[in-house]
């Protein structure tokens, strides 16, 4: 819900978004990879998954209390910002950057702290429109 939008986007509606993450490193690792894609998916998967089947809303939206009451575990709130594709792209960029800076280890996979750089996050709203954040 885009509470600041003058038209229909201010009402509940859905998107099938696609997220593109571009990473790089100075050199390949011992497996000849920049980063194992499964390691990256494990590192950020839960954070990305919180968007699935959730209502994204501005903290100032007057309908937020009702949304939280009706769906207490299904609302992603953005502080004083509408959940535009641009805002979601920034949110994901900030999160993934932090994970790569701090490193990740889990399920037998590892991303050493600071070895992999986040170059870009692109969030597709439709097959023809996206928002992108670059380092």
Instruction: Please indicate, yes or no, whether the overall pTM of this predicted structure exceeds 0.75.
Output: yes
Report if residue 6 sits inside a domain: no
pLDDT score at 26: 97
For residue 85, the domain's CATH number is 3.30.479.10
pLDDT in tens, 82-104: 999 999 999 999 999 999 999 99
**E strand spans, the chain:** 18-24, 55-58, 75-78, 104-106, 109-111, 117-126, 129-134
- Identify whether 12 is part of a domain: no
Report long-range pairs for 13-17 (Cβ below 8 Å, ≥24 apart).
15/85, 15/125, 15/126, 17/51, 17/85, 17/88, 17/123, 17/124, 17/125
Q: Which domain holds residue 80?
A: 17-134
- 10 Å Cβ neighbour count for 91? 20
Beta-bridged to residue 118, according to DSSP, are 23
């Amino acid at each position: 819900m885009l509470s600041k939008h003058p038209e229909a986007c201010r009402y509940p509606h859905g998107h099938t978004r696609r997220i593109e993450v571009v990473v790089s490193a100075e050199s390949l690792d011992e497996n000849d990879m920049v980063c194992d894609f499964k390691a990256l998916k494990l590192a950020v998967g839960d954070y990305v998954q919180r968007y699935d089947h959730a209502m994204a809303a501005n903290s100032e939206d007057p309908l937020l209390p009702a949304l939280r009451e009706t769906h207490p575990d299904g609302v992603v709130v953005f502080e004083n910002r509408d959940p535009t594709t641009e805002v979601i792209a920034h949110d994901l960029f900030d999160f993934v950057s932090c994970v790569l800076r701090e490193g990740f280890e889990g399920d037998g996979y590892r991303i050493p702290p600071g070895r992999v750089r986040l170059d870009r996050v692109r969030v597709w709203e439709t097959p023809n429109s996206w928002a992108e954040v670059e380092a």
